Amino acid sequence: TTLNNTIIVTGGAGFIGGNFVLDWVKAGLGTVINLDKLTYAGNLENLADIEGNPNHIFVHGDIGDRALVAKLLAEHKPRAVINFAAESHVDRSIHGPEDFIQTNVVGTFHLLEEVRAYWNSVVKTHPEEKENPQFRFLHVSTDEVYGTLGPKDQAFTETTPYAPNSPYSASKAASDHLVRAYHHTYGLPVLTTNCSNNYGPYHFPEKLIPLCLLNALAGKPLPIYGDGQQIRDWLFVKDHCSAIRRVLEAGQLGETYNVGGWNEKANLDVVQTLCSILDELSPKADGSSYKDQITFVKDRPGHDRRYAIDASKLERELGWKPAETFESGIRKTVEWYLQNQAWVHNVTSGEYRNWVSKQYSGS
Ligand code: NAD
């Protein structure tokens, strides 16, 4: 074979990419070149468990840096590139969409261009790679590209038309379209996954679940947007990672796979469940419930009401199933945060703190 058993992961110092890299390296599946810009969301502490492991090579850089990406591809001859790198927070995209366009759209475009050049060079020397590609470019995306659902609408399938409503989801939709076009136009061997909301270890505390966990323990208000009845479909991050591994291994080139756990929950229910688990695992001294800290705040502009993902294609065609239910996954998450207070302390200093105070100061 012409390619090494090496993969390039972009955004592997973030929440999902970090979990993916940890699982991959710990399972001994091969070498990972981890290209990450280390924005506010990227944190090398997420990878402390594999520090010094020769199968993990961290490279500090941008997916839009063509020379760097070309060099990494030529040097390592990977059998796959998995693109997690993105600006990922909807609220930030409302306050400042520019970075989202730069990384999610322009950055993905540059990455695709270099991957295409790499694959062409492989095909030149090994024509069999064109007929039966070994190489894969896997693009990690979100269910938010499909827009919002009414209470009785069918869950999103792979053929649901794209209708993104936030700058974040619009930028992800644009990148998905580019990936699709590179397959149809240039024959690049691509795969795309569109996943529902993730939760679990190493989740940066600007998102609902870790934010509420941290605020609960700090005795602060638990901010709920609007009436708290926005419905999201939740998946434990390790299940998302196992789905990506499965799609990488057996997915049909050029296809899209929805990933989800059939766990539709209203945001308020999620926070109440979290509070109940905390009441049990870390009871307050005065015997009151963490639920008393729930505070409703002004809704986010253009807030989608409901996302629900139909993952039956992935289950039927590739035999994937999540290992966790929402109840087991959320319990593991609470336990992880309680046991990893040092990680929490370190990521809650600096820029994150400024961001949260700007968001929830009532201004
Ligand atoms: P995250 O914000 O935690 O991590 C993103 C990582 O990408 C960070 O480490 C950051 O430093 C890095 N990065 C940002 N811009 C970069 C650039 N230009 N070059 C290189 N690295 C860069 O995000 P996440 O929640 O782990 O999401 C990862 C991917 O999964 C994203 O593409 C996101 O759209 C998608 N996704 C997320 C969810 C979710 O619930 N979090 C659900 C479905 C899909």
Domain ranges in the chain? 6-202+235-262+304-324
Ligand 1: atom nearest CA of 89 is: 2
Reduced 3-state DSSP string for the chain? CCCCCEEEEECCCCHHHHHHHHHHHHCCCCEEEEEECCCCCCCHHHHHHHCCCCCEEEEECCCCCHHHHHHHHHHHCCCEEEECCCCCCHHHHHHCCHHHHHHHHHHHHHHHHHHHHHHHHHHHHCCHHHHCCCCEEEEEEEHHHHCCCCCCCCCECCCCCCCCCCHHHHHHHHHHHHHHHHHHHHCCCEEEEEECEEECCCCCCCCHHHHHHHHHHCCCCEEEECCCCCEEEEEEHHHHHHHHHHHHHHCCCCCEEEECCCCEEEHHHHHHHHHHHHHHHCCCCCCCCHHHHEEEECCCCCCCCECCECCHHHHHHHCCCCCCCHHHHHHHHHHHHHHCHHHHHHHCCCHHHHHHHHHCCCC
Ligand 1: atom nearest CA of 259 is: 43
The pTM of the full predicted model, rounded to 2 decimals, is 0.94
pLDDT digits (tens, 9 = 90+) for 24-75: 999 999 999 999 999 999 999 999 999 999 999 999 999 999 999 999 999 9
Give residue 190 CA to ligand 1 midpoint distance, Å.
19
d(CA 324, CA 326): 6
Q: What is the mean pLDDT of the chain?
A: 94
Give residue 84 CA to ligand 1 midpoint distance, Å.
5
Residue 358: the pLDDT is 53
What's the mean pLDDT in 204-224?
A: 93
What's the mean pLDDT in 180-200?
A: 98
Options 3.40.50.720, 3.40.50.800, 3.10.20.30, 3.40.140.10; CATH of 6-202+235-262+304-324: 3.40.50.720
pLDDT digits (tens, 9 = 90+) for 134-182: 999 999 999 999 999 999 999 999 999 999 999 999 999 999 999 999 9
Ligand 1 site residues, Cβ closer than 6 angstroms: 10-11, 13-17, 35-39, 41-42, 62-64, 84-88, 103, 107, 140-142, 172, 195, 197-198, 204
Residue 213: the pLDDT is 94
Give residue 10 CA to ligand 1 midpoint distance, Å.
9
For residue 329, which amino acid is it? G
In the set 87, 114, 143, 304, the catalytic residue is 143
146 classed as catalytic:
no
Question: Residue 314 above 70 pLDDT?
Answer: yes
Question: What is the ipTM score, two decimals?
Answer: 0.99
Question: Residue 363 above 70 pLDDT?
Answer: no
143 classed as catalytic:
yes
Nearest to 159 by CA among 52, 48, 256: 256
Residue 326: the pLDDT is 96
What's the mean pLDDT in 238-260?
A: 98
